[in-house]
């Protein structure tokens, strides 16, 4: 009984979500037609961020984020990587077609990660920003939401699978799983403005 009530309330909140948050000004394609079809405005809302959850490094979440962000940098070619691990390898991004001349790499301590990513998202100059985010409290994610709305770019947070039980602060949450060489399988877990996530898995070639 209680779970049914919670489910109903959740559906109501999600249906009025876009009204409360205001209609997104612009959307860009995620480069994945199946994802675009499901999203309420036919693409990723600019001024928000996407959460990608993966079980371990090496699954392909980062590459997927780069694929999804391609359209976001058409108007604003600058992009930024917040590298709190010191492990980002630019030659691999270049091999995926990204222009390193428009890239800024910010190396920060994990404790400064939330603040730093909020600064990058708030900037009106970056088309896309990427961050391998570890555990972060809700207040930081709320700040990221507001910063994204102010900046109008697109953010991508790669989070561990453990974040599955935590609230989603991004406009889209995807679960990324391996699917053989050069491919990933993704499942939409949450999309702002949609009452329920589809029960389908999408294979994406990277």
Partner 1 sequence: MRRYLALYFPRWPLQHLRQKLPETQSQPILLFQRSHRGVVVRVCSAEANALGVRAGMSLADAKALSANLLSHELNLAEINLNLEELCLWATRFSPLTGVEPAGPHAPYPQTLLLDVTGCAQVFGGEEQLLNLAVSNFKKRGFNVRAALAPTLGAAWAFSHFGPARVSVPDEPEALKTLLEPMPLAGLRLSEEVLDNLRPLGLHRIADLLKQPRASLPSRFGAELLQRLDQALGVVPETLLPLRAEPEFRVARAFEHPLRSSEILFSILQAMTERLAHELEHAQRGALHLECWLHHEIAAPACVNIALHRSSHSPKHLWRLLHARLEDHFRLPLKSGGRFKRKHRQTSATKSLVIEAEECIEAVALHVTASEKSADRQLPLFDKAGSDAQSGDFHLLLDRLAARLGTDAVRRVHIEDEHLPERSFKLLALVERAQAAPAAAADAPRPLRLLPRPLPAEVEFPRTLTWEGQQHSIRNVAGPERIESGWWRECDQRRDYYIVEVESGARYWLFENLADQRWFVHGSFD
Other Cβ atoms less than 10 A from the Cβ of 63: the count is: 17
Of the chain, the end-to-end C-alpha distance in Å amounts to 44
Binding range to partner 1, per CB under 8 A, among 21-29, 31-39, 42-50, 90-98: 90-98
DSSP, collapsed to helix, strand or coil, labels residue 31 as: coil
Binding mask 23-62 for partner 1 (x = CB under 8 A): -------------------------------xxxxxxxxx
Instruction: Report the 3 state secondary structure along 120-155.
Output: HHHCCCEEEEEEECCCCCHHHHHHHHHHHHHHCCEE
Is 169 one of the binding residues for partner 1 (CB under 8 A)? Answer: no
DSSP, collapsed to helix, strand or coil, labels residue 49 as: strand
Is 202 one of the binding residues for partner 1 (CB under 8 A)? Answer: no
Site size with partner 1, rule: CB under 8 A: 51
Exactly one of 21, 103, 140, 189 binds partner 1 (CB under 8 A); that residue is: 103
Dihedral sign, Cα of residue 3, residue 191, residue 12, residue 151? positive
Binding range to partner 1, per CB under 8 A, among 17-25, 42-50, 114-122, 160-168: 114-122
Exactly one of 17, 18, 40, 77 binds partner 1 (CB under 8 A); that residue is: 77
Cα(177)–Cα(175) distance, rounded to whole angstroms? 7
Smaller CB separation from partner 1, 22 or 58: 58
Cα(48)–Cα(116) distance, rounded to whole angstroms? 16
Q: Which residues bind partner 1 (CB under 8 A)?
A: 54-63, 66, 76-78, 85-95, 100-109, 112, 115-116, 119-120, 122-125, 132, 158, 177-181
């Amino acid at each position: 009984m209680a779970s049914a009530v919670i489910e109903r309330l959740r559906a109501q909140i999600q249906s009025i979500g876009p009204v409360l948050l205001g209609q997104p000004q612009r959307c860009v394609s995620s480069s994945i037609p199946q994802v675009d079809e499901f999203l309420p405005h036919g693409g990723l809302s600019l001024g928000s961020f996407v959460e990608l959850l993966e079980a371990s490094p090496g699954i392909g979440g980062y590459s997927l984020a780069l694929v999804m962000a391609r359209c976001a940098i058409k108007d604003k070619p600058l992009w930024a990587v917040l590298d709190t691990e010191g492990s980002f390898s630019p030659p691999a991004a270049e091999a995926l077609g990204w222009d390193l001349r428009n890239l800024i790499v910010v190396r920060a301590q994990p404790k400064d990660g939330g603040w730093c990513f909020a600064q990058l998202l708030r900037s009106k100059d970056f088309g896309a920003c990427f961050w391998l985010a570890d555990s972060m409290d809700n207040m930081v994610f709320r700040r990221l939401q507001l910063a994204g709305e102010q900046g109008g770019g697109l953010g991508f947070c790669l989070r561990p699978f453990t974040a599955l039980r935590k609230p989603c602060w991004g406009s889209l949450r995807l679960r990324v799983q391996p699917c053989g060489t050069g491919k990933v399988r993704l499942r939409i877990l949450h999309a702002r403005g949609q009452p329920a996530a589809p029960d389908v898995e999408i294979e994406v070639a990277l």
